[in-house]
Amino acid sequence: MEEVVFVSTRHNLLEKVYQTNDLTKEEITYLLENITHADREILYRYALKTKQAYYGDKVYLRGLIEFSNICRQDCRYCGIRASNAKVERYRLTPEEILTCCAQGYKLGYRTFVLQSGEDLWYTEEIFIDLIRAIRKSYPEVAITLSIGERRPETYQRLFAAGADRFLMRHETASQELYEKLHPTMLFDDRRACLSALKDLGYQVGAGFMVGLPGQTPADLADDLRYLKEFHPDMIGIGPFIPHSETPLGAEKGGTLKDTLVMVALARLLIPDSLIPATTALGTLDPQGRELALKAGANVVMPIITPTSVRKQYELYENKICGDDHPEDCRYCIERRIQAAGFDVDLGRGDSRQFISR
Ligand code: SAH
């Protein structure tokens, strides 16, 4: 009898999230604690249908330029944290970044994502000149920044210079866990940055890691509820993958299944968002990104960082594509997307929310 009740409760929750795009924290927690293999299959199917209703079968590509692995922060999970003395540091010059953009543009990319550690050599002035130069050469591209925490005035000036989008994961919605993992950062600062970016008019990407040490189903439910309320344009979700040169090197990482469930729930709860099939998922499993595309993701961010420095941008170990060249990644990804049954879209790929704003 009891088992019948549980089955019908889970079934009702899956129907509810599919029909209404909403679940309470308690409902999400219950689902995560009791989910079965069969439930997951239903969830992935509903997430796929929801993605198709909002975005069709298109998968948007972004060229990712990892331009510096120098970082002033000391996040306990991250391979390029300030206290990792073993990582060989690099910083691309603005000219080198422009060369990456030229190469990326030739390969067809119309979004450039500039990501780095928190490297203060890159001052506001340097960023402004760089963004203006990219904007001048490629008026139609989307310029996405993922450079960590700066002052709201700086975000404002970078936006005015021509940046369109900003990726900043909230990392975890548990304040306690956030502060344990980020000895040099504050939970409230991160949230304030995200709100400021949104208010300034950026298309904003938030997101979190799955399988962090000590993270509970209730914490993950909070991550999804935060995203539902904040309503970002983009949502990055990846498994935590331990890096041996960090304090969390001996911990267990996040799993493929748990991450896919969170991707699917994010699609169902925030149906108009853009959700990347992350490189971390592709690292965990050779089919990880394809499975994410089948569970609601609709963006892939192939790396266009020069091959000479790629391996040094090692946030976690065994990161894929370390020896590849930008053109390898471009066509490898296209083949994978097509083999998974989807269509590559090389346009800017703005979010539905942004288009209707
Ligand atoms: N400095 C920028 C970019 C961070 S790197 C910023 O603060 O936003 C991009 C993302 O990689 C991070 O937000 C984090 O979620 C993820 N990441 C870092 N270390 C990781 C690890 N060991 N496993 C999985 N993801 C990791």
3-state secondary structure of 262: helix
Tally of CB atoms within 10 A around 250: 9
The Cα 230–Cα 191 span in angstroms is 10
Pairing label, strands 142-146, 165-167: parallel
In this structure, the chain runs to a length of: 357
Count of CA atoms in the C-beta half-sphere (13 A) of 310: 19
Q: Which atom of ligand 1 is nearest to the CA of 78?
A: 19
Cα of 15 from ligand 1 centre, angstroms:
33
**If we measure between CA atoms, which residue out of 293, 301, 333 comes closest to residue 205?**
301
Q: Which CATH architecture has domain 2-356?
A: Alpha-Beta Barrel (3.20)
Q: What is the pLDDT of residue 243?
A: 98
pLDDT value, residue 1: 54
Per-state percent for the chain, helix, strand, coil, to nearest 5: 45, 15, 40
Q: What is the pLDDT of residue 2?
A: 60
Report the separation in Å between the CA atom of 91 and the middle of ligand 1, taken as the mean of its atom positions. 17
- Locate the DSSP E strands across 119-223: 142-146, 165-167, 203-210
Å from CA of 309 to ligand 1 middle: 17
Q: CA 85 to CA 220: how far, in whole Å?
A: 32
Q: What is the dihedral of CA 206, 210, 216, 217, to 10 degrees?
A: 80
**pLDDT in the model for residue 16:** 98
Q: 19: which residues sit within 8 A by CB, 6+ positions away?
A: none
Q: Which ligand 1 atom is at minimum distance from the Cα of 71?
A: 1
Q: Give the pocket of ligand 1 (CB within 6 Å).
A: 77-78, 115, 117-118, 146, 148, 168-169, 171, 209, 238, 240-241, 243, 280, 315-316
For residue 174, give Cα distances in angstroms to 143, 177, 219.
30, 5, 6
pTM for this predicted structure = 0.98
From first to last of its 357 residues, the chain has per-residue pLDDT tens of 566 777 779 999 999 999 999 999 999 999 999 999 999 999 999 999 999 999 999 999 999 999 999 999 999 999 999 999 999 999 999 999 999 999 999 999 999 999 999 999 999 999 999 999 999 999 999 999 999 999 999 999 999 999 999 999 999 999 999 999 999 999 999 999 999 999 999 999 999 999 999 999 999 999 999 999 999 999 999 999 999 999 999 999 999 999 999 999 999 999 999 999 999 999 999 999 999 999 999 999 999 999 999 999 999 999 999 999 999 999 999 999 999 999 999 999 999 999 998
Is residue 52 helix, strand or coil? helix
Indicate which residue's Cα is closest to atom 24 of ligand 1. 240
Burial of 25 (0-12, 13-18, 19+ CB in 10 A): middle
Question: Crossing angle of helices 256-269/2-20, nearest 10°?
Answer: 50
Contact, 74 vs 83, CB < 8 A?
yes
For residues 109 and 157, what is the distance between their CA atoms, to the nearest angstrom?
25
Two tokens, residue 94: 């603005």
